[in-house]
Amino acid sequence: MPVPGIGLWLADAPLILASRSASRRAVLEGAAIAVEVLPADVDERAIEAGASDQTPGAIARILARAKALSVAAQRPGRLVLGADQTLALGARLFAKPADLAAAWAQLKVLRGATHELHSALALVRDGAVLFEHCETAALTMRDFSDRFLSSYIEAAGSAVTASVGGYQVEGAGIQLFEQIAGDHFTILGLPLLPLLTYLRAEGHLAK
């Protein structure tokens, strides 16, 4: 039975999430972690360009670290979580679609193929990286029709521009797929279980 007056989150202050992702916030709050959202203001495309010789997983790590360090500089003494996700189809790296037309074109390229999502996180305090982790999931899209794609884009609306793949598997985007291999939280953009293990070991979560 729960002990009255004792919560699962034991730190003195909420964890700062350096991301505007509603999915990541929902994942953390669903795990009973106290969260404060402060999105990082970094030039993701410039960072990606500077790391163009790196693997997609390494780029995700670099982006997550940059976001966490940027916000940690504004909040001395606070624990800050940065996270990012890259999508690769073979050697080709994809970014968030700029608009519905770009989402249409991207999903046509991904259709009928298996792509990889690389989800990375970085925990930072006062300029020091305390913990980093990256996991990969493989997702196979079915060979859907152009008509279905039009219907999907119409149903999802602007949400297709909110994620790197142009879909949310927790919503209508699941209809794009025939097979998914990987951790569900990795697909949502935050490898949660390794994060919980670290936070528990450091005394931020109840054991």
Taking only the tens place, the pLDDT of each residue in 31-47 is 999 999 999 999 988 99
- Can you name the residues that pair with 122 across neighbouring β-strands? 82, 132
pLDDT at 120: 98
Q: Supply the residues annotated as catalytic.
A: 84
pLDDT at 110: 97
Residue 132 or residue 170, greater confidence: 132
CA neighbor of 64 nearest in space, from 131, 116, 157 = 131
